[in-house]
Each structure stands twice: as C-alpha cells, then as structure tokens.
Chains A and B, each alone.
Chain A
Amino acid sequence: MEHLDEGTVHAWLDGALSPDEGKRIEEHMGTCADCSALVAEARGLIAASARILSSLDEVPRVQVESGARDAAIAGELQDALQRARHSANATVPTVEARQISVPRIARRPWWARPQLSAAAVLAVVALGSLVVTRNKDRALPNALKVP
C-alpha cells in the first residue's frame, strides 16, 4: 500500500472510510513508522481543534433590542412548538389558568439565562397561580386554545 496522505488519514479518523479501507490503513500503519506518526499528529490536530472551538461557546451576551421581525419569528415558532406539546399532552388533566404568560424565545441578559437545552426552552413557561382541575369535560380556557 502507498503511504497515507493527510486527507485520507483525517477521513479515516472521522469515520468516513469503508471498513475495508480502514483495515488496509491499520495494516499499513503496523509496518510504516512515518504513516503512524502522521496518524498520531492528525489525532492531536483533531483534539486541538475541538478544544480551541469549544472556547468559543462561552460568549458574553450583548443586549440588543429585538426588532419586530425577530419577535414575530420567535412568536410563530413558539406557537407551533406549543401546539405540538398540547397535542402530545391531550390526555392530561385540564389546567385552568388564572394567569398565564405565553413563553417566548426572547433575549435575556447572559447572567439571567442558564444554559438551556432544547427541552428546557420548550418547558420555560411563566405562570401565575394555577388551579389544576380533574374535570376533563371543562373546555380549555381561552389562553390555552390554539388560535
């Protein structure tokens, strides 16, 4: 087998080659010190890149007012996600809300906003006091009805 080129080594380490190609590379590495060194270097570069890029994840929040267009987009998306959740929860007891704020994906200062997973974003609902009823025959309050 010919010596490995850098592109092939990275493709192999990224899992992009076929099992047969991978096997040939492993066999070649067993007999070629230079190619083994190339693979070791590539592993180091992959790890270094991941580490360097991860330091970009802690970004201070810059407070800028959302424009009307951005607020409309956030609203429409949030409405679709809420409809999906209500559809999935169709059999749970009816909730009669005295005061409900519909959650929005809104800007907040970085110190007031913990790292949120997608599920947590969906679950962020600002609620007032609620009365949970088990009366399944009662109609949904207007605030929860899908427009």
Chain B
Amino acid sequence: MRDEELERLFKLYHVPLVRYLTRRLGDRDWAEEVAQETFLRALRQDSLSSERSWLFAVATNLVRDEARRDERRRRHLQLLAAEVREQEEEAPADDLERAHDRAMARKAVDGLAERDRLALLMREEGLDYTEIADALGLSVGSMGTTLARARRRLAESYEALQGEANRRAGGIHGAS
C-alpha cells in the first residue's frame, strides 16, 4: 500500500478505531498500540476493498490474540489500573462521580456476550450492518436483533447497577 493511502486511512479511521479499542479494553495506551499495529498491517496490504470492516476486524482479532498470548501483561495492567482507581478515591467529587459512572459502564459492557458487545461498539463507530457482519463473521439479517438485545441488556444492566449504588448510598446516609 502506498504511504499516501495509509495516511488517508489513518486520518479517517485512527480516532474511531482507538475509541472502539479504548471502550473494548478500558486502556487507552493498549488501544493505541493495537491501533498502530492494525495500521501497520494495512500498510503491508496491496489494497483494501472494505477498508473500515477490515481495520475493525483486524483490530478485534489482535485484541483476542494478544489477550491469549499476553495474559501476564494484562494482569499487570489490571493491577496498575486498580492503583489508579485507588488514587481516584482522593479526587474531587465531580471526578469521583465520573469515575463511578465509568466503572458502572465498564461492568455493564463487560457483562454482555462478546459478539453483542463487539457489534454494539462497532455500530457506535458508524459501521453499517454489512460492515459489522463482515468484521465479525455474522449474518446481516441477524444484526438488528443482535443490536436490539445488546442495547437492552446494556441499559438494563447499567440501571440495575445504578439502583444498587443508590441503595448503598442511601444505606450509608441512613446509618449516619
């Protein structure tokens, strides 16, 4: 692939790809590394016919393969993320609330079936049904049902976590 073609792809897809990976992994540095490796692999192709679905498919597979290969590094990152979360406990109230929302969102997203989660994350980046189906090896006809299920479960799970948090907060205030 020519360098100019790579630059065009990078300008179009780097931001949404990193956002997709960050939402998938919960780690922006890891997301950027995977994105870089994805673009490097694109550079080694002569051309790409369905470029967006190709990029998202390769990135998704890299995450899957890297997770299997590099379990140790992942645990290390989780430990470091836990340290950051501890530091966040000393942060101002607004930051704490955002961190709390993020933690609930993380839990709700991670609770989805992987296929549903990936389809939803790709849809949020603007991939159409055909692109998502190509990237994940699914049928286009089932995409509406898959996304409906994912959105419903995500919203319900998040609402349940919010309810639980409110009950705990109510219990703490009630006890004081």
Contact = CB atoms under 8 A, between A and B. Distances in A.
Given A6-B145, A52-B108, A59 B6 contact: no
Contact of B6 (A48, A55, A81): A81
Interface in A51-72: 52-53, 55-64, 66, 70
A50 B29 CA distance: 23
B118 interface: no
A57 B2 CA distance: 32
Interface stretch (B19-27, B48-56, B164-172): B19-27
Contacts of A8: 144
Interface string A74-87: 10110011011101
A105 interface: yes
A6 B153 CA distance: 13
Contacts of B22: 56-57, 59
A56 B23 contact: yes
Interface string B109-148: 1000000000011011000110000000000001111111
Contacts of B3: 80-81, 83-84, 87
A35 interface: no
A50 B121 CA distance: 9
B147 A10 contact: yes
A117 B128 CA distance: 23
B71 to A, nearest CB: 15
Contacts of B150: 49
Contact of A77 (B39, B84, B155): B39
A118 interface: yes
B61 interface: no
